[in-house]
Amino acid sequence: MKKISRALVTGCAGFIGSHLTESLLQDGVEVVGVDCFNDNYGRGAKLRNLERAGDWDSFDFVPVDLSRGTVPDLVADVDVVFHLAAEPGVRASWGPRFDTYLRNNLLATQHLLESCKGWPDTQFVYASSSSVYGQAERMPTSESDLPRPFSPYGVTKLAAEHLCLSFCDNFGLQSVALRYFSVYGPRQRPDMAFDRFCLALLDGAEIEVYGDGLQTRDFTFVADVVRATRLAAESSRAVGNVYNVGGGSQIGLREALELLEEISGVEARVQYQPGQDGDVRDTGAETVRAREDLGFDPTTTLGEGLRLQFEWVAEERQRVGLPARRSARPRAPAT
């Protein structure tokens, strides 16, 4: 296992990046955190994500836009680069914003890889996405199944994966790509389903669901994702490979909503909307490779993870002083 003393985390102010940063700091790792505060959601929320990391003297934050050029000084003395910075979201990747996805997902990755060329011993862990699979023909989907992205976002994530592995093959950079499946938990982006659902339940507001709600996802709790990401950074066996990171809890969206109703004690008022371009019907991760090579097994059940997310949303909502829009409707007791 590789010992990590100092790490670079890109996207450190984001949902997953902030959790990864804190996990490393708690274990005595010095962290250089990079974020450009792109406008996919509010800067204030991202700054709150960094509050705990800021308590450590071993955390150094550098506000930089990786798409603007190489950053050799930032990678010169780190053991691992965790590249989580990206432009997220399937639905927004169509049309005029595609250049933003090219810049933040592809060009930024290329600049970071070029920066690392002079330090081939550096482990480079790239955060990819299950979106590279598109409408997968087989469930659960394995890493050997042919990727066929169903959205421009998925196209850019797959292209960046190939860049990482080409730098591995050509220059010996110790790259590994992780395909995250439907990550949820505290600090989830405000445009994502569970964050919206939790807020709506707290406010007694209507929940918009795109599609019929029967679509399934392999939901993965953020702490499990962080653990898989760190395992990939410590393993020499991982170099040059791609791994699925799934939560082992493939479930329909309606079933997930029922769990949130039980947790909140509130009956959901759901408005079903037409499905959105780029949204796939189902996702499911085969994680045999990650278990065998990395020793990764998810440990958080969907029910427990949703409870933790709901509690966090409620606390955060109170902390930032968001008033309820209307009174919630209590959920009818089970009979």
Contact status, residue 233 vs residue 270, Cβ threshold 8 Å: no
- The DSSP bridge pattern shows strands 250-252 and 216-218 to be antiparallel
Question: Are 228 and 243 a contacting pair, CB within 8 Å?
Answer: yes
Scanning the chain, the segments in alpha helix (DSSP H) are 15-26, 43-49, 72-75, 98-101, 108-116, 152-171, 193-203, 222-234, 253-264, 288-294, 302-319
Catalytic, 153? Answer: yes
Q: Which among 126, 133, 153, 180 is annotated as catalytic?
A: 153
User: CB neighbours of 80 closer than 8 A, spacing ≥ 6?
Assistant: 2, 4, 7, 8, 122, 123, 124, 125, 233
* 139 C-beta neighbours (distance < 10 Å), count: 13
- Nearest partner of 16 among 100, 81, 85, judged by Cα: 85
The residues annotated with a catalytic role in the active site are 153
